[in-house]
Amino acid sequence: MPGEVLIAYATKYGSTAEVAAAIAKTFEEEGVAVELLDVRSVRDLGDYRAVVLGVPLYNARMLRVGRRFLARHLRALAEMPVEVFALGPLGDEEKDVIVPQKQLDRSLRRWPEIRPLSTALFGGVIDQSKLRFPDKHAPPLKQFFPTTDVRDWQAIESWAIGVLDQLKPKL
């Protein structure tokens, strides 16, 4: 549908997809039509007016399918309003965010053509019961037992509303 905003997410264990769905819900409640898709299902950006990309950090950079999405759609993304959020930090103190923030910034610098109107970094999730090989054996993750979920839903909603204010005049 013309005028739609694409909310595309990369995810391995689902937490980023859930944040993307919450952002989509906020957009819809504010009367903005969205399409919510896994990045791997996006064929063409031609009909969208703006893109919100959600991607988790893994091993110090954006998850590979997220990077592939940026590379594949680089030309279109360089010409349209783009907003980016990432999941990563597994603690909610300031010190927990410093390294993931650097990882996100460095990862995005690889695509200078894409200039997000805003970027956000939200706390992530570790659920030991879901982790598959080899993630299960990553030693730094052992301390997050059995489940750590530091997603701040209020911060996520506030960011979505701020993003809507930025995007509405451009839709």
Ligand X SMILES: Cc1cc2nc3c(=O)[nH]c(=O)nc-3n(C[C@H](O)[C@H](O)[C@H](O)COP(=O)(O)O)c2cc1C
Q: Which is nearer to ligand X, 147 or 158 (CB)?
A: 147
Between residues 106 and 168, which has the closer beta carbon with respect to ligand X?
A: 106
Say whether 167 sits in a helix, a strand or coil. helix
Q: Give me the amino acid identity at 63.
A: L
Least separation in angstroms between CB 52 and ligand X: 15
Residue of 121, 128, 81 lying closest to 105 (CA atoms)? 121
Comparing CB distances to ligand X, the nearer of 118 and 128 is 128
Round the CA-based radius of gyration of the chain to a whole number and report it. Answer: 16
Cβ count near 98 (within 10 Å): 11
Smallest separation, CB 47 to ligand X (Å): 26
Least distance in angstroms from the C-beta of 64 to ligand X: 11
Cβ atoms of residues 91 and 124 within 8 Å: no
Task: Kindly list the residues in this chain that would bind ligand X in the complex (CB under 6 A).
Answer: 11-16, 56-60, 87-90, 100, 103, 124-126, 131, 135, 138, 141
